[in-house]
Amino acid sequence: MKTITVVLASLVAIGGCGIEGPAPRDDERPLPAPMVSAERAGARVNIYQLTAGQLAVVVTGDMPEDVEGKTPVELYEAIAAAPAPAALVDSQARIAAVRAQRPTDHVGSRADDAAPARSKDATLTASDFQSAHCSPGVVDFDYCYTNVTNNYVTWFYNIHWIHAHVNVYRGSLTHAMWYRGFAGSFHLINVETVTGSTFVSVFDEGDNGDYEISITDATGDGYHLALHGDL
C-alpha cells in the first residue's frame, strides 16, 4: 500500500490525480437524525446511520486524545463512558462482516486542486496539531494543512474511507462532508459550526464512495485541517 504524506504551511499547489472540479450534488439528501448521541466533559458524539451499510461518526469539542483508528462503538463508549446501545453494536457488526468478504485491491483518486491559503498567526501551534492529527500511520493519503485562512473545498473519488480533523484557533467556520455511493446522489454526512475541534469518520461496507469536504464561513478566521484515508 502506498502512503502519501503532505504537510503544508503555505500556499502550495498539490499534484492531483487528473480529475478537476467538483462532482455534481444533484438530488442531494439531507442529514438524518442521529442514530445515537452522547455528551460528556465538553465532548459530543453523534453517530448517523446514513444507509443500512454506512455509519458516520462526528465528534466535536474536547474529544479524546486518540480518536484515530477507533470504531464507532469505541468512540461512542470513550465519550459516553457507558456501553454502546445494541442497535449501534449490531449495525457495526453487520458492516464489518460485509467488509471482511470484500477484496482489498482498490484504486481511488483525489481532485487536482491547490492547498488553502496560509494565515500569519496561530494560538494553537501547527506542531501540536500535526502531532495529534497528522501522519496517522499506514494510509494511502495524508494531507495536513496548518495555519489556514479563508474557505476551502476538495474532493476524493472512488475511495475506501476518509477521516477529517479540523481545529479552529481563531474565529469560527462551517465544516461539511458529503458522500456519494456508486451511481447514487450526494448526501450530507456532517455539517458543523466549529469554534474548537471536530472530527468526522466513515465506517462503510462499500469501497467506492465519492466525498466532498468543504470549509466555509472562514474568511479572516484561522484553522488547521487534516485529511487522510485509503484510496
State the sign of the Cα–Cα–Cα–Cα dihedral 167, 89, 92, 24.
Answer: negative
Highest mean pLDDT among 121-135, 181-195, 205-219: 205-219
Query: What is the 3 state secondary structure string of 183-208?
Result: CCCCEEEEEEEECCEEEEEEEECCCC
- Cell reading at 50: 446514513
Which whole number is the average pLDDT over 37-58?
90
Phi, psi for 134 (deg, rounded to 5): -110, 160
**Cell numbers 485562512 correspond to what residue?**
149
Nearest to 10, CA basis, from 126, 166, 108:
126
Nearest to 224, CA basis, from 135, 139, 149, 114:
149
pTM (two decimals): 0.80
Kindly report which listed range (97-101, 121-125, 223-227) carries the lowest average pLDDT score: 121-125
**CA 16 – CA 23 distance, rounded (Å):** 15
Which whole number is the average pLDDT over 38-63?
88
Domain borders along the chain are: 4-230
Nearest to 177, CA basis, from 116, 113, 227, 109:
227
Quote the pLDDT of residue 113: 65
Helix boundaries (H) for 37-136 = 72-80, 86-100, 126-133
**CA 204 – CA 206 distance, rounded (Å):** 5
**pLDDT, tens digit, 9 for 90 and up, residues 120-159:** 444 568 888 888 888 888 888 899 999 999 999 999 988 8
Please report, rounded to a whole number, the percentage of residues in the chain having pLDDT higher than 90.
40
